[in-house]
């Protein structure tokens, strides 16, 4: 039993009890979130694909916490011009645990 839902412009596969790292959301730890943009759902035997969304389907999750991903280094250079720039970036994330799937 799983569902594929969309949030923050990205798609995620949700299964009950699974923990996901989503792009940063404005929610406190312990808060309940509901994602209504379900694109596909399956109960193990039948698959329901939305056009574009599955009617009546939703994913409920509980916020576990927040954090930052490992650092990614960005290095730019132009050959023979003595131009070098090194910068780093750490993406923020919100960790959620899937508590319920309503397949619609």
- The string of pLDDT tens digits covering residues 32-89 is 999 999 999 999 999 999 999 999 999 999 999 999 999 999 999 999 999 999 999 9
Model-level pTM?
Answer: 0.85
Cis peptide before 70, with omega less than 30 degrees from 0?
no
Q: Compute the distance between CA of residue 46 and CA of residue 10 in angstroms, rounded to an integer.
A: 24
Establish if 77 belongs to a structural domain: no
Establish if 83 belongs to a structural domain: no
Establish if 27 belongs to a structural domain: yes
Residues 6+ apart with CB under 8 A from 64: 19, 29, 95, 96, 97
Establish if 36 belongs to a structural domain: yes
**The domain containing residue 62 runs over which residues?**
2-66+93-102
Establish if 80 belongs to a structural domain: no
The number of domains in the chain is 1
SS3 24: coil
Establish if 11 belongs to a structural domain: yes
Q: Work out the widest C-alpha separation in the chain, in whole angstroms.
A: 61
Establish if 87 belongs to a structural domain: no
Establish if 85 belongs to a structural domain: no
């Amino acid at each position: 039993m799983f569902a594929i839902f969309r949030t923050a412009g990205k798609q995620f596969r949700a299964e009950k009890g699974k923990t996901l790292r989503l792009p940063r959301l404005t929610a406190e730890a312990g808060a309940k979130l509901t994602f209504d943009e379900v694109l596909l759902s399956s109960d193990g035997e039948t698959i329901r694909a939305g056009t574009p969304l599955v009617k009546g389907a939703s994913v409920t999750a509980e916020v576990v916490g927040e954090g930052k991903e490992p650092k990614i280094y960005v290095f730019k250079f132009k050959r023979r011009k003595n131009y070098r720039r090194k910068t780093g970036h750490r993406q923020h994330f919100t960790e959620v645990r899937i508590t319920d799937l309503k397949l619609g």
